[in-house]
Structure formats: structure tokens, C-alpha cells
């Protein structure tokens, strides 16, 4: 497939946002602070993948079984780690919500289809163990950022009964600056790592009209590139058409990287919107 210079420029976000190293350094420092202040249970196994592990940061002890926010990190399906987003747990902890941070196998070791299947197994395993972990299996909210937003959307439309996971319930879900349609990346340098198939329609996150299977909140930074904004807008419009509900939420003066810090801020509108999902 021919390389597209326009798409390359739109999706090469590190070049477009030169502040990304500074934002990531801040994320690292904030995450270290959270790990020093809050109880963290590290690297619990889940699912079937070799990298399927999660960290769990319990909320303040307000109930026997706590609601849980499961977060899927970004990194264009090829990089990233749960340790980088531990800072997100702090405001949820204060509200008595447990945070689960997932790791998963990455490209090019596996393809997107394998990643999606692995995460389904991981969520099913966490739901199965929920009571043992002190979690309320009926109060699971799943979210993600960037590629993680795409993966959260794929979890939202999964028919768990067909996978024999009758016990699994996702109460709500959200995406931050999600890459809901990976297909444009086949015409960029990302293709050398992602190896997207010629026909990847099954990899596009699409809402359904059945049982409100879709993201409940589609957040996007106002400083995102045109293509990234279009990704969120197309998905949100599809939800509106299918369900009559507009999930679009613009985060003012935030780009692809620092939008995460809005979610980690207990006083932000974005955090409040996510909190309302519980």
C-alpha cells in the first residue's frame, strides 16, 4: 500500500507535539509518587497472554466490594506500559474506586487481532476473580487512551455470552483520544510494525444498537491533529446514530499526551465525567 505523507504527518504525534517527552517525564514522576503513597499490588496474572499482567491500586476502604476502573494504556499497539499511568489511580482512590492497570502483548510480536483476544481473556479473568480481589463485578468501567481507547471500544462491543463469559458485565466505558479506526496507519511508517492486514474492517471499533454496546464517553483534546479529532468525531457520530446519545466531550487546550493529566486531576471536568459513569 502506498505511503501517504499527509497521514504520516497527522499520526506522527511525537513530531507534532514536541512536549511529549516533558509530559511523559511528569507522568513518570507522578506515578512514582502514587506508588510511594498508595498501596499497589503488582503484576497479578490474568488471561492467556505472556504479557497479560495487571497492577491493582485499591480505593479507600468505603465498601466490601469496590467499583473498579480498568485502564488500557496507549502506545499505538506497539509500546507503552501500565507503570506509566499509575498516577491516574489517585483521584479514583480518593473516591473509593479501585484502579486496575492492564499490560498486554505488543506489536510486532503479535497483531491487533491477537491483542484484542488477549484483552478479552484478561477482562474475563479479572471479572471471574472480582470478589476474591475485593471488587464489585457489576461495577466495572473500562477505559483507555489512544490505542487503548480503541481496545476499550472493542471490549465494549464484545458479546461476552458467545465467549462463554456469562459472568462478565461492563457497566460503562470511555476512550481518550482513541484510534478507533486503525486502517489509515497502513499507509504510514507504523505499518512496518503493525502489519495491518489488507482487510481490517473487523479491527475498526464500531458501536452497535444492541444493549448500548459502545463507549459511553468519547473524549478528545482540542489540540489534537485533524485526523485524531476526526477519529473521535466519526465514532461519536456513529454512537449518536445508533443510540440517540452523543458521547463526544472536548477537553480544552489538551493534546494527545497531556489529556491523560486531565483524567488524573480530581478537579477536572474530564475526571468528573468519568466518575459519573460509576
- The pLDDT of residue 61 is 81
- Which parts of the chain have pLDDT scores under 70? 1, 62, 209-212
Site of grid cell 495491518? 196
CB 216 within 8 A of CB 207: no
- The pLDDT of residue 230 is 98
- The pLDDT of residue 211 is 67
- The pLDDT of residue 164 is 78
CB 77 within 8 A of CB 194: yes
CA angle in degrees (0–180, nearest 5) for 98-263-25: 100
Give the integer Cα–Cα distance in Å for 17 and 138: 39
Q: Are strands 98-102 and 66-72 parallel, antiparallel or unpaired?
A: parallel
- The pLDDT of residue 209 is 67
Nearest-CA neighbor of 10 among 199, 261, 231?
Answer: 231
User: Considering the entire predicted model, what is its pTM?
Assistant: 0.97
Domains of the chain and CATH, by start: 5-275 (3.40.50.1820)
In tens, the pLDDT along 82-120 reads: 999 999 999 999 999 999 999 999 999 999 999 999 999
* DSSP state at residue 186: G
- In 51-123 the beta strands, taken as DSSP E runs, fall at 53-57, 66-72, 98-102
The torsion angles phi and psi of 240, rounded to 5 degrees, stand at -60, -40
CA 254 to chain centre: 17
- The pLDDT of residue 162 is 83
In tens, the pLDDT along 204-223 reads: 999 986 666 899 999 999 99
Amino acid at each position: 500500500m502506498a505511503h501517504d505523507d499527509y497521514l504520516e504527518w497527522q499520526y506522527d504525534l511525537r513530531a507534532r507535539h514536541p512536549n511529549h517527552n516533558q509530559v511523559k517525564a511528569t507522568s513518570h514522576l507522578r506515578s512514582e509518587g502514587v506508588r510511594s503513597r498508595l498501596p499497589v499490588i503488582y503484576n497479578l496474572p490474568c488471561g492467556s497472554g505472556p504479557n497479560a499482567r495487571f497492577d491493582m491500586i485499591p480505593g479507600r476502604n468505603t465498601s466490601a466490594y469496590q467499583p473498579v476502573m480498568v485502564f488500557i494504556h496507549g502506545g499505538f499497539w506497539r509500546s507503552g506500559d501500565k507503570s506509566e499511568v499509575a498516577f491516574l489511580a489517585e483521584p479514583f482512590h480518593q473516591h473509593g474506586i479501585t484502579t486496575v492497570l492492564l499490560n498486554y502483548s505488543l506489536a510486532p510480536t503479535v497483531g491487533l487481532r491477537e491483542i484484542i483476544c488477549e484483552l478479552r481473556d484478561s477482562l474475563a479473568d479479572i471479572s471471574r476473580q472480582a470478589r476474591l480481589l475485593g471488587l464489585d463485578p457489576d461495577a466495572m468501567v473500562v477505559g483507555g487512551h489512544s490505542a487503548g481507547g480503541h481496545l476499550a471500544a472493542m471490549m465494549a462491543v464484545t458479546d461476552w455470552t458467545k465467549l462463554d463469559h456469562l459472568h462478565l458485565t461492563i457497566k460503562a466505558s470511555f476512550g481518550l483520544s482513541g484510534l478507533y479506526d486503525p486502517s489509515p496507519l497502513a499507509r504510514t511508517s507504523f505499518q512496518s510494525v503493525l502489519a495491518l492486514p489488507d482487510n481490517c474492517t473487523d479491527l475498526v471499533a464500531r458501536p452497535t444498537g444492541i444493549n448500548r454496546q459502545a463507549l459511553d464517553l468519547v473524549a478528545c483534546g482540542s489540540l489534537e491533529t485533524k485526523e485524531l479529532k476526526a477519529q473521535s468525531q466519526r465514532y461519536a457520530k456513529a454512537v449518536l446514530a445508533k443510540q440517540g446519545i452523543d458521547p463526544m466531550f472536548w477537553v480544552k487546550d489538551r493534546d494527545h499526551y497531556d489529556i491523560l493529566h486531565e483524567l488524573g486531576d480530581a478537579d477536572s471536568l474530564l475526571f468528573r465525567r468519568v466518575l459519573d459513569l460509576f
